Amino acid sequence: MSKLVKDMLVDDLKKRLNNVGDVVVVSLGRLDAQKTSQLRNTLRKKKIQLQLIKNSLARRATLDTPLAPAFSTTEGMLAIAWGGEDVVDLAKELDRLSSVKDFEGLECKGGALDGARLDAGDIKRVAKWPTRSEQLSILSGQISGLASTLSGQILSVGGTIAGQISSRVEDLEKASGGEAPAA
């Protein structure tokens, strides 16, 4: 491959990964062209992109970016995957597909998350995290639970105080002979 072609490939990969913060490096093992095409179609449905890339070109394209640690110890021809709702969604989908019989040989080798290198075990752990939508759901439940508790406490104390004030006003009215007390 000529230097000009390599530079064009590196520039293209830089453009594709411009706003990407997290990637997963995978080995496709012995998947044939049909299985690889099926894999790409399956991932595309989840808005995940998969690209085969030579390691040396990936290193050059991600030099001085948060994605560079993903390629620090990789060897051979691998693929990189990015996209999805978030990195957890990406890891979950790749972990799920690696256990599907049709895609035997698909294996997560590592990746990068916020500038930190992930190894294969880290990808499995990230796949067990809640996704962004699950985290937002948990957070909103916690916030509404706290707000409900706080509201109940304020209303109960406020109701008690209002009842005490009302009782005191009635006592003062009775003591003064039915006239409203002076402020």
CB 61 within 8 A of CB 13: yes
Could you read off the pLDDT of 64-97 as tens digits, one per residue? Answer: 899 999 988 887 778 999 998 888 999 999 999 9
What global pTM score does this model have? Answer: 0.71
Query: Who contacts 80 (Cβ-Cβ below 8 Å, separation ≥6)?
Result: 23, 24, 25, 26, 50, 51, 53, 58, 70
Could you read off the pLDDT of 17-66 as tens digits, one per residue? Answer: 888 889 999 988 888 889 999 999 999 999 999 999 888 888 889 988 99
